[in-house]
């Protein structure tokens, strides 16, 4: 298909995952005319299409609580805003603590969340078993729950942004790889496998490859990517595990999707750098043991598929969102460390505001990457 090639643009975004598509849509919504998105494969082909797509507001820092809640609010109305169903399912997240110290932290998080308008609560074992009818967690010491947390379909959500952005005039070039960034004191343009585009603004939304894109502009991002495995079972009657079960010390997340299948994953031991997308027996057996222990009635359910995807890790497991202080016009939205799907709706909005107006409606200055040099890491207790 002969497609017109734009030789110049106001903004060029690299990557059409949830981040790139949300940023593109929000820029167009704010009136930016010439937005181009480059995608080396097809939209959702990166981490977004491989993720568990859990969404939550149960966080442990004020900023993440605010971002998580703002994202939930956007997701709750996204169908109307974008005109496409996004497969939203709010069955809640049930956090499971196995150590007293962990439970103390979860309780502190709930107090903080409540002070910010998030109606999470501490629940006892009986309530936990009501929320998740097949749960067996006799060794747990405590639980917290927030009913608005849940899941959205990662494909539908991203395509909804993609389609709405296209309709507002954003140009998406798929199967088009960015191979260089032209910088002369500030951003001048991009080089791709299909030609060059002049632009004063580049947004790095390349997910697991964000540090490679930044390097093209001479910027060193202290990120790396690690492989995370995940499995899915055949569909079973809905309701056996309607919430997301999550434990930091237990190192797992398990959730039944509305179509009935159960997805489950955990973090790799030692968090090694790994850009491959392989699958292991080790994971399959370990994860199956975890599921059968927690949900003993599901032993007869069959695993039908396993796959893997990458987390783009930052030193404090918090993203970098904002403009580079070294290269004017180079913006970054990456390093989400495994939580980039749920933050996509709000981070895309805030970054678009930053590009257009210079400020954002929720302050995110602390998310600049110079925090790593200053040693001012963000301490978020609610990550795996």
Partner 1 sequence: MTEEEKERNVIVCRCEEITMGEIRDWIARGYDTFDELKHILRVGMGPCQGRGCREIILREIAKMKNVPITQVDPGTFRPPSKPVKLELLAKKEGGE
Interacting residue ranges for ligand FAD, rule: CB under 6 A: 14-20, 38-41, 45-48, 50-54, 177-178, 205-209, 213, 228, 230, 265, 309-311, 334, 336, 338-342
Write the DSSP string, 232-301. Answer: EEPP--TTSS-SEEEETTTTEEEEE-TTS-EEEE-PPTT----------HHHHHHHHHHHHHHSGGGTTP
Alpha carbon of residue 78 to chain centroid = 16
Nearer to partner 1, 57 or 245 (CB): 245
Please choose which of partner 1, ligand FAD, none residue 106 contacts, taking the beta carbon within 5 to 8 angstroms, the exact cut-off set by kind: none
Least gap, CB of 343 to ligand FAD (angstroms): 6
Least gap, CB of 126 to ligand FAD (angstroms): 27
Please choose which of partner 1, ligand FAD, none residue 13 contacts, taking the beta carbon within 5 to 8 angstroms, the exact cut-off set by kind: none
Rounded to an integer, what distance in angstroms lies between the CA atom of residue 335 and that of residue 208? 8
Least gap, CB of 193 to ligand FAD (angstroms): 8
Query: Which H or E element spans position 69?
Result: helix 62-76
Q: Which stretch binds partner 1 (CB under 8 A): 7-15, 107-115, 151-159, 342-350?
A: 151-159
**Residue 233 binds to partner 1 (criterion: CB under 8 A):** yes
Least gap, CB of 301 to partner 1 (angstroms): 6
207 contacts 19 by C-beta, under 8 angstroms? yes
Q: Which stretch binds partner 1 (CB under 8 A): 202-210, 221-229, 240-248, 291-299?
A: 291-299
86 contacts 192 by C-beta, under 8 angstroms? no
Rounded to an integer, what distance in angstroms lies between the CA atom of residue 280 and that of residue 82? 38
266 contacts 251 by C-beta, under 8 angstroms? yes
Q: Which residues bind partner 1 (CB under 8 A)?
A: 1, 42-45, 49, 155-156, 159, 163, 166, 172, 233-234, 281-282, 284-286, 288-289, 291-293, 298-305
């Amino acid at each position: 298909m002969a497609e017109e090639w734009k030789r110049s643009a106001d903004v060029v975004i690299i990557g059409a995952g949830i981040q790139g598509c949300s940023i593109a849509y929000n820029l167009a919504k704010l009136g930016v005319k010439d937005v181009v998105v480059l995608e080396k494969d097809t939209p959702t082909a990166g981490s977004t299409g491989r993720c568990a797509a859990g969404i939550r507001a149960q966080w442990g820092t004020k900023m993440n609580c605010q971002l998580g809640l703002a994202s939930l609010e956007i997701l709750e109305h996204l169908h109307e805003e974008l005109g496409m169903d996004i497969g939203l399912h709010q069955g809640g997240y049930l956090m499971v603590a196995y150590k007293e110290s962990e439970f103390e932290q979860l309780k502190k998080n709930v107090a903080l969340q409540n002070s910010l308008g998030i109606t999470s609560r501490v629940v006892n074992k009986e309530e936990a078993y009501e929320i998740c009818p097949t749960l067996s967690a006799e060794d747990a010491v405590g639980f917290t729950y927030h009913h608005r947390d849940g899941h959205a379909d990662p494909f539908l959500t991203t395509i909804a942004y993609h389609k709405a952005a296209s309709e507002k005039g954003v140009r998406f070039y798929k199967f088009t790889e960015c191979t260089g960034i032209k910088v002369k004191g500030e951003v001048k343009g991009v080089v791709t496998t299909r030609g060059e585009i002049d632009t004063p603004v580049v947004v790095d939304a390349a997910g697991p490859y964000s540090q490679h894109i930044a390097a093209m502009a001479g910027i060193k991002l202290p990120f790396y990517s690690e492989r995370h495995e995940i499995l899915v079972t055949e569909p079973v009657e809905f309701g056996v595990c309607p919430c997301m079960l999550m434990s930091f010390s237990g190192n797992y997340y398990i959730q039944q999707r509305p179509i009935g299948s159960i997805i489950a994953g955990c973090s790799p031991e030692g968090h090694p750098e790994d850009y491959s997308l392989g699958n292991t027996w080790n994971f399959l057996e370990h994860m199956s043991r975890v599921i059968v222990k927690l949900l003993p009635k599901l032993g007869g359910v069959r695993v039908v598929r396993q796959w893997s995807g990458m987390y783009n890790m930052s030193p404090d497991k918090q993203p970098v969102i904002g403009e580079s202080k070294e290269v004017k016009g180079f913006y970054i939205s990456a390093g989400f460390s495994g939580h980039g799907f749920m933050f996509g709706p709000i981070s895309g909005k805030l970054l678009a505001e930053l590009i257009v107006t210079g400020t954002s409606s929720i302050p995110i200055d602390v998310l600049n990457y110079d925090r790593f040099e200053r040693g001012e890491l963000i301490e978020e207790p609610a990550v795996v």
